[in-house]
Structure 1
Amino acid sequence: MITALKTDTGKVRQHNEDAAGIFTKEEAVLAVVADGMGGHLAGDVASRMAVAAMEEQWNQAETVPSLPSDCEVWLKDRIHEANAKVYDHAKANEECRGMGTTVVCALFTGKFVTVAHIGDSRCYLLQDGEFTQLTEDHSLVNELVKTGEISKEDAEHHPRKNVLTRALGTDETISPDARSFELSDGDQLLLCSDGLSNKIEDHEIKQMLQAESAPQEKVDLLISKANQNGGEDNITAVLIELSADAKEGEDKC
C-alpha cells in the first residue's frame, strides 16, 4: 500500500482551511480529509480539530475492527466524538461560533475499505478501469438533483452549490454515512476536498490516476490542475494505492 497527501491554499484564498492526515497501526491505515468553514480562521480551527480528534482516537484504540460492519460503526462513533469536540469548542469560544467542517475518512484493514463521511468532501475509487464516486454529497444541490428539480449539469454551476445539508461541528447531533467496499491490488482510492472535485472533471481525474507515475506525482498533478483551473478554494488530496511494489520515494504501509 502506497500513500500520498498534499494540501494547498489555492490561488485566491489567504488561509488554508483544509486539513488531512494518514495514520497507520500495524497493517491498518486511516486516512482523513476535512474542509473547514465559518468565520475568520474558524474553518481552519474546525478542520484541524476534527483531524486531530480522529488521530487521537486512532492512537488510543487498542484494536482495530476486522469486519466491515464493525468498521462502519467504529468510524461513525469516531466522527460523533470528533463532532462533540468541535461543537463544544464553538459554543465556548465566541470567535468560533457557527464553525464546522466536512470530513471524509477511509479505514483499511485488509482486502476491504470502510469509507465514512459528512459534508461534500469526496472519496473516489479507481478499480479495473472503472472510476466511481463512493460518497454522496450532503449538499443542497445534490438534494435538488435527487428530487429531479435540477440536472447534474445545472448543479455544477448552481449559485448555492456550496450549501451543505450536513456538517461536523455545526449541530450537537449529526448523521454521518458509512459503507464498505472490497479492494484488490492495483486499486486506487482518492479522498479530496471540493476544491479539487469542483475544478477537475471526473474523466480528467481518472486519466491522471491512470498515468504511469508514483502516487505523490499524481497528487501533485491533481493539485496543480485544480490551481490551473482557477484555484479559488483550498485544495486537498489523499491518494492510496494498493500495490505490492512501492515506488521509490513513496510511503509504503
Structure 2
Amino acid sequence: MTEIGRSTTAHTIHLSATSAVVLDWAGATDVGLRRAHNEDSYIARAPLFVVADGMGGHSAGDVASDAVVRRLDEAAEDEFFDTDALEEALRLATDDIEIAAVGTELGVGTTVTGAILTRDGDAPYFTIFNVGDSRVYMLDSGKLSQVTVDHSVVQEMVQAGMLHPDDAENHPDSNVITKAIGFGAEPSPDYWRVPARAGLRLLVCSDGLTKELHATAIAAVLVSNPEAQAAATALVTAAVSAGGRDNVTAVVVDVRESSDRDDIEATLPTDQLPRR
C-alpha cells in the first residue's frame, strides 16, 4: 500500500493572469476486515487523483499498484497533466510489474482509475481515465453519476442485456475483470472529460468501496460531509462497517472556484448507476 499526497485545502492553480482553479482534496484507505494486506495505492495531489487496486496475492498486488502510482508521480512535474504522459507512465509501470511477476504462476497486475487535471487554453478540466473496475464518480448539484465504465465480465453482461444492473455486484463473476495494468498487456485506458466547474466533487475509489456501499449510500455520505477529508474518511469507514470484504480506498476532489469556459462540455457515458 502506497499513499502519495496529503489532504489539502484551497490549493490555487493559475492558468493565466486572470484565470485559476481552486481545489480541495483528500484520500483515505483501509485494509478492510478480511484481507491480510492492503494492495490498494493512491495519489492525491495536483494534477493527479488516482487509485490503483493491485492483484496477485500476498505482496504482489501491492507491488503492482505501487509501480503505477510511483511512475505517475514521477511523471507529473507540472500542475497539469496529459494523456501522452499518462500512457507513458503506465507503460513504464507495466515493465516494472513484469519484473515483479517473474516466478509467479498467475501473474501480477492492478486496476487504475482517476482524474488528471488538464487545461484547454486558460480553462481547466479533468480527464477521467480507467483500466479495470475501480471507479470515478462525480457529484454535481447534489446528483451522483458514475463517470467510468467497468472493464469486467458482469459489465459486459449488463451492456448486452444479459444481466440487470441491480444483480451485478452479487454475480459469481463480479470480481472478474477484462482489462488491467500488467499481465503483459499494453495499457489502453478509456477516457472521459469533465469541466472543472465550481461546486463539482469527484470520487475516485477501489471496488472495495462500491461492493459494500450502494450508490444511494455513497451519495448520502458525499452530500453530508462537505469537507474532502471528512468525506473520504467517512466513505472508507462506512464500507468497512458494511462488511469490509476487500481493501477500501477513496480519494475526494472538490472544485472550490474555477474560471471554466462554457464551451467545454463533458463527455460522459449513459447513466451506469444501479437502480436501487
TM-score class, shorter-chain normalisation, is: 0.7 to 0.9
CA distance in 1 between counterparts of 2:253 and 2:99 reads: 33
After superposition, the CA RMSD in angstroms is 2.0
For 1:108-123, list aligned pairs within 5 A. 108-109=117-118, 111-123=124-136
Aligned to 1:105, which of 77, 89, 114?
114
Structure 1 residue 95 displacement after superposition: 4.2
Task: Count matched residues.
Answer: 232
For 1:1-253, list aligned pairs within 5 A. 1-24=23-46, 29-59=47-77, 64=80, 71-90=82-101, 93-95=102-104, 98-109=107-118, 111-244=124-257
* Equivalent position SS for 2:182: coil
**Residue pair 2:44, 2:50 contacting (<8 A) in 1 also:** yes
CA distance in 2 between counterparts of 1:34 and 1:212 reads: 24
**Residue pair 2:208, 2:244 contacting (<8 A) in 1 also:** yes
TM-score, L = length of structure 1: 0.85
Letter paired with 1:79: L
CA distance in 2 between counterparts of 1:137 and 1:52 reads: 23
CA distance in 2 between counterparts of 1:43 and 1:185 reads: 36
Task: Percent identity, please.
Answer: 38
- Report Cα offsets for 1:18-44 as digits up to 9, x if no partner: 0011233xxxx2111000011322111
Structure 1 residue 96 displacement after superposition: 7.9
Letter paired with 2:256: S
**Residue pair 1:4, 1:219 contacting (<8 A) in 2 also:** yes
CA distance in 1 between counterparts of 2:192 and 2:247 reads: 27
**Residue pair 1:42, 1:96 contacting (<8 A) in 2 also:** no
* Equivalent position SS for 1:200: coil
CA distance in 2 between counterparts of 1:63 and 1:7 reads: 24
RCO (CA 8 Å, sep 6+): is it higher in 1 or 2? 1
**Residue pair 1:125, 1:134 contacting (<8 A) in 2 also:** yes
* Equivalent position SS for 1:195: helix
Structure 1 residue 111 displacement after superposition: 2.9
**Residue pair 1:39, 1:98 contacting (<8 A) in 2 also:** no
CA distance in 2 between counterparts of 1:53 and 1:219 reads: 24
* Equivalent position SS for 1:22: strand
**Residue pair 1:72, 1:180 contacting (<8 A) in 2 also:** no
- Seen in structure 2, the aligned counterparts of structure 1 residues 204 and 128 have a Cα distance that, compared at 3 Å, is same
- Seen in structure 2, the aligned counterparts of structure 1 residues 117 and 80 have a Cα distance that, compared at 3 Å, is farther
CA distance in 1 between counterparts of 2:156 and 2:29 reads: 28
* Equivalent position SS for 1:210: helix
- Seen in structure 2, the aligned counterparts of structure 1 residues 177 and 81 have a Cα distance that, compared at 3 Å, is farther
Structure 1 residue 13 displacement after superposition: 0.9
Q: Any unmatched runs of 5+ in structure 1?
A: 66-70, 245-253
